[in-house]
Structure 1
Amino acid sequence: METRKFGRTGQEFPILSFGAQRIVDEHNCTEEEAIQIVNRAIDEGITYFDTAPIYSNGQSEERLGKAFGSRRSKVWIVTKTIDRTRDGSWRSLEASLKRLQTDHVEEWRLHDVRTMEQLDACFAKDGALQALIEAKEQGIIKHISLSGHTNPNVQLEAIERFPFDSALVALSAADHFIYSFAHEFLPKANEKGVAVIGMKVIGLGRLAQWYEKALRYTWSLPISTAIIGMESMEQLENNLRVAKDFKPMTDLEKLEFFKEIIHMANPDVLRWKAKDWSNQEEWAERL
């Protein structure tokens, strides 16, 4: 697989990385299957694994911890905090480390920072960012990150306020049409050396009909890697096949693809950009 630089960190990763949200009972993936899928991914050169404590109440982290075993040194683990306070985030990290069966993670993220109010809370005295800074000073984490699904202005403001090492943002082809991280966030992030990781590539499955084109679109952007959720060995093998054969989309290919999917640019499909997760009719407001 093609590998790319990971911002200013000095690391490189394959374009295909592992989103671990789906290796859980909730997605009909057993623990035995999860361990097999993760180890197959490592065998094929995938080293970047993204998880979070809220993914099935920690089950995603638990299964990664069991799967890595003696191969811990071969992988780059990313987990997150959804808590906006210092103390709450520290408790979150301590629990994550136990589930992941490790004494450190390579990357820790402020999870799903949607609004300026949430960003301000993270940056406040005794806010979540303080925990990330302290954890890095203590060597418990190596890199500081954030993620955003909804409003590129929030992540743009974040990287102006603090030298984040990376940002995980929504970069599906359908995201191209509304509140676009590709248009608004990527250029500034690349200018600052912030590694950008694409997510929501298949649109929570809503772009499955075009899944090869969806992967190619996101990998054609100037990003470091993209995390893809995988709940079966078949999905992993298909993603590996597309990644190994990857060729960037031409402008004409993108144009034809956009014509096919523009009807998908609505709040029912892009729920992470809706007013709230259950609202299928209104877009979030960009205040």
Structure 2
Amino acid sequence: MIQQPFGRTGWQVPLLSFGAQRIVDEHNCTEEEAIKIVNTAIDRGITYFDTAPSYSEGQSEHRLGLALQGRRHEVKIATKTHDRTRDGSLRLLEESLKRLQTDHVDEWRLHNMVSIEQLDRCFAEDGAIKALLEAKEQGLVKKLSISGHTNPQVLVEAIRRFDFDSALVALSALDHHIYSFAHEFVPLAREKGMAIVGMKVLALGKLGDWYEQALRYTLSLPISTSIVGMESMEQLEKNLAIAENFTPMTEQERLDFWKEIMHLATPQTLPWKASVWGSDTWYQRAQ
């Protein structure tokens, strides 16, 4: 599989990476299956794994930790804090390290930054940014990151305030058409030397009928890697087949793809861009 630079970090990561949110009971994946899927992914060249304490109340982290026993040195682990305070974030990190059975994570992210108000809270005197800096100083985390699904202007402001190493952002072919991270955020992040990780590639399965096109679209963007959630060996093999034989999408292919899927660009299909998850109106960002 193609290996690419992870921003200015000096790391090399595979084109395709592993979103571990789905290796849980909630997605009908057993512990035994989860361990097998993760180890097969490593055997096939996937070395970057993304998880979070909020995924199935820690079960994602727990299972990833089990699967990586004896192989921790082969991979990079990214996890997150959804708490906006220093103390709350450090508590989450302590719990994450226990579930992951490791003494450090390679990346720690501010999870799903939606509004300037949330960003301001993270940068307050007792905000989560303090936790990120302290954890890095103590060697508990190696690199610092941020993620966002909804409003690219919030992340533009975030990376103007702080020198994050990477950002995890929604970059499906449908995301291109409303509050797109590809338009302003990605070029600015690249200018700053940040690694960019794509997510929401299949729009929660809504692009399943265009599986290969959807994955090729995101992998063709100027990013370091893209995480894809996988809950079965079948899904892993399907994703690997595309990534191992990857050819960038041409402009004509991209245009034809957009024409086929444009009717799906709705708040119901893109709930992370809706005013409230499940609503029929778009998020309204502050002017």
TM-score by length of 1: 0.99
Q: How many aligned residue pairs are there?
A: 286
Gaps of at least 5 residues in structure 1 are none
RMSD over equivalenced CA pairs, Å: 0.5
Give 1:278 shift. 2.4
2:104 corresponds to 1:120:
no
Query: Which runs of structure 2 are paired with 1:1-287 in the superposition (5 Å)?
Result: 1-279=1-279, 281-287=280-286
TM-superposition CA deviations, 1:193-241 (whole Å, max 9, x none): 0100000000011111101000000011000000000000000001000
Matched AA of 2:117: E
Q: What per-residue deviation string (whole Å, max 9, x for no partner) do you get for residues 169-215 of structure 1?
A: 00000001010001121110110001000000000111111010000
| Counterpart Cα distance in 2 of 1:83 and 1:64 | 21
Q: CA deviation at 1:156?
A: 0.4
* Cα distance between partner residues in 2 of 1:233 and 1:241: 12
The aligned amino acid for 1:52 is: A
Q: Which residue identity lines up with residue 284 of structure 1 in the other structure?
A: Y
Shift >2 Å, 4+ stretches = none
TM-score (normalised: structure 2): 0.99
| Aligned AA (1:263) | H
Q: Which amino acid aligns with 2:7?
A: G
* Structure 1 residue identity aligned to 2:92: S
For the residue of structure 1 that corresponds to 2:266, the secondary structure is coil
Any stretches of 5+ residues in structure 2 without a counterpart?
Answer: none
Counterpart CA distance in 2 for 1:236 and 1:43 is 12
C-alpha separation between the residues in 1 aligned to 2:235 and 2:253?
24
Q: Which amino acid aligns with 1:168?
A: L
Letter in 1 for 2:253: E
Residues 4-42 of structure 1, C-alpha deviations (whole Å, 9 max, x = no match):
110000111111000000000000000000000000000
One-letter code aligned to 1:110: L
Q: For 2:47 and 2:246, locate their aligned partners in 1 and report how far apart those are by CA, in whole Å.
A: 18
Secondary structure of the corresponding residue to residue 286 of structure 1 = coil
